[in-house]
């Protein structure tokens, strides 16, 4: 095996590397995000589930994000450390980091599954599951089976960036795609043909996650740049501390989304009950169902945004480790440009086609209030998507550069200080519309801070380049 089999990360054209690594990563994360939304599409169009099933899906969704947050903290952190280690030719650190990440992921997933199964009732209540009895029963059924699949889901998601760090972005993409395709095949069979309802949607999802996890296990036995040994699979304390620190930004970007969801869903529950229309029992579930759909669309766009930046982590980390600041700067410009373009495309879709988007989720069988609130929600909640995408790309890229605490601080400000704080504060003045305003206000405030941080980091890279020449 070549002593530095990933050396092409330092020599190949940056643009070509970005396409090679970012596009498969985007596909992997996009497919992972589609798992839940595919369930919701089929649930919404099943006449015996409808908007109640949609609301139940929205209630459970934050719990899958918590699992994802832990998985990407381990996986993205390990990916960054492995890339930095290979760039500095520290192969021993690389294989021990991966083995430790495998053990940590398995242990964390088992603990989380136990927590979900034992405390299901209070957890569902915390995320607005008590909006009405029908929604609660559907949420409880769906949550039970999703919880059983958590170990497979977390393992597949954690190993995905690690596989990319080994120089195999296409395998990472294919493993996720295989699971998603199976989910899409089984969903209509279980929901429409077998009439298994929420259980059917959950079982289809878990089946796909098992396939992705199985392919990840196969790859770990056939790695290219890193060779795993029996002593790799231990909790190597110092390395674990390093990769968890590097992955904390990924964790917070997901977990703080859960905090924002909890705040938003509880504000929707509270202020929806005060609304002249949604305060009526027949329409009480509509705001919860609609906000869930809007947030799912947002999650799809953000998955592409994260993929553009996270896919470049092996390139950034390797070149930082090899002291190639010039290539890190060049890639940063490309990533930010791609993030801005993505945001503008998403903005055009939500502003011009909100009716078509909500029609995919069974709007034709719901009241006009459902459609009207959905259109308003899409247009207000997501009106600053370009800034949201640039913000997210900035957090992840800084993490790839090894600036874990800077990325973490930015993520905390956006998702907790602004995301949660404004979601609680603005409804006091604007009721349900205040929930919708919280998103764009958070994005514009974070964008200002991100621009300042990016300017400082870019300047630092320029100084580093001059030092190298001297």
Spans of all domains in the chain: 14-469
Round to whole Å and give the CA distance between 415 and 127. Answer: 17
Compute the Cα dihedral for 321, 326, 327, 333 and give only its sign: positive
User: Helix 169-188 crosses helix 150-165 at what angle (to 10 degrees)?
Assistant: 150
pLDDT of residue 444: 96
Residues in the chain, pLDDT under 50: 1-4, 466-467, 469-470
Tokens for 169?
Answer: 């972005």
Cβ atoms within 10 Å of 282's Cβ, excluding its own:
11
Round to whole Å and give the CA distance between 204 and 188. Answer: 9
For the stretch 53-91, pLDDT in tens is 888 888 898 899 899 989 989 998 898 888 778 777 787
pLDDT of residue 465: 52
Round to whole Å and give the CA distance between 468 and 83. Answer: 21
pLDDT of residue 400: 76
pTM (two decimals): 0.74
For the stretch 215-231, pLDDT in tens is 999 999 888 878 888 88
User: Helix 50-87 crosses helix 197-220 at what angle (to 10 degrees)?
Assistant: 10
Buried b / exposed e along 244-270 (16+ C-beta atoms within 10 A): bbbbbbbbbbbbbbbbbbbbbbbbbbe
What percentage of the chain's residues is helix, strand, coil (to nearest 5)? 85, 0, 15
Tokens for 445?
Answer: 């405030």
Round to whole Å and give the CA distance between 89 and 4. Answer: 7
Q: Where are the alpha helices (DSSP H) in 167-285?
A: 169-188, 197-220, 237-272
pLDDT of residue 6: 65
């Amino acid at each position: 095996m070549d002593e530095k089999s990933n050396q092409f990360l330092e020599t190949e054209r940056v643009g070509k590397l970005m396409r090679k690594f970012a596009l498969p990563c985007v596909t992997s994360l996009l497919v992972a995000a589609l798992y839940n939304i595919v369930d919701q599409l089929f649930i919404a169009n099943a006449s015996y589930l409808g908007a109640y099933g949609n609301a139940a899906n929205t209630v459970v969704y934050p719990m899958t994000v918590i699992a994802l947050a832990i998985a990407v903290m381990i996986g993205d952190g390990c990916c960054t450390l492995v890339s930095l280690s290979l760039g500095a030719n520290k192969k021993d650190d690389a294989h021990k980091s991966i083995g430790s990440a495998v053990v940590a992921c398995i242990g964390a997933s088992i603990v989380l599954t136990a927590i979900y199964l034992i405390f299901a009732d209070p957890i569902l209540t915390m995320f607005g599951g008590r909006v009405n009895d029908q929604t609660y029963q559907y949420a409880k059924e769906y949550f039970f089976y999703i919880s059983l699949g958590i170990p497979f889901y977390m393992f597949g998601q954690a190993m995905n960036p690690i596989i990319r760090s080994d120089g195999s972005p296409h395998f990472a993409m294919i493993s996720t795609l295989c699971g998603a395709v199976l989910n899409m095949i089984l969903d209509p069979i279980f929901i429409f043909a077998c009439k298994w309802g929420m259980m059917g949607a959950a079982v289809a999802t878990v089946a796909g996650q098992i396939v992705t996890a199985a392919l990840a296990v196969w790859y770990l036995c056939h790695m290219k740049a890193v060779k795993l040994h029996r002593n790799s699979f231990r909790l190597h304390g110092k390395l674990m501390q390093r990769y968890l620190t590097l992955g904390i930004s990924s964790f917070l970007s997901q977990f703080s989304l859960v905090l924002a969801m909890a705040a938003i869903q509880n504000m929707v529950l509270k202020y929806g009950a005060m609304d002249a229309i949604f305060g009526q029992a027949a329409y009480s579930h509509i705001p919860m169902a609609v906000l869930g759909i809007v947030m799912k669309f947002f999650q799809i766009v953000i998955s592409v945004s994260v993929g553009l930046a996270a896919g470049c982590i092996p390139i950034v980390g390797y070149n930082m480790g090899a002291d190639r600041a010039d290539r890190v700067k060049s890639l940063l410009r490309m990533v930010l440009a791609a993030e801005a373009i993505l945001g503008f495309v998403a903005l055009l879709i939500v502003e011009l086609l909100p009716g078509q988007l909500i029609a995919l989720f069974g709007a034709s069988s719901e009241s006009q209030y459902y459609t009207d609130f959905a259109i308003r929600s899409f247009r207000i909640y997501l009106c600053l998507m370009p800034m949201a995408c640039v913000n997210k790309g900035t957090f992840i890229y800084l993490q790839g550069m090894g600036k874990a605490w800077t990325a973490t601080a930015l993520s905390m400000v956006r998702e907790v200080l602004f995301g949660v704080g404004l979601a609680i504060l603005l409804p006091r003045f604007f009721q349900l519309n205040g929930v919708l305003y919280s998103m764009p206000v958070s994005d514009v405030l974070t964008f200002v801070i991100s621009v300042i941080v990016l300017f400082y980091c870019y300047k630092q890279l320029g100084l580093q380049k001059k030092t190298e020449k001297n």
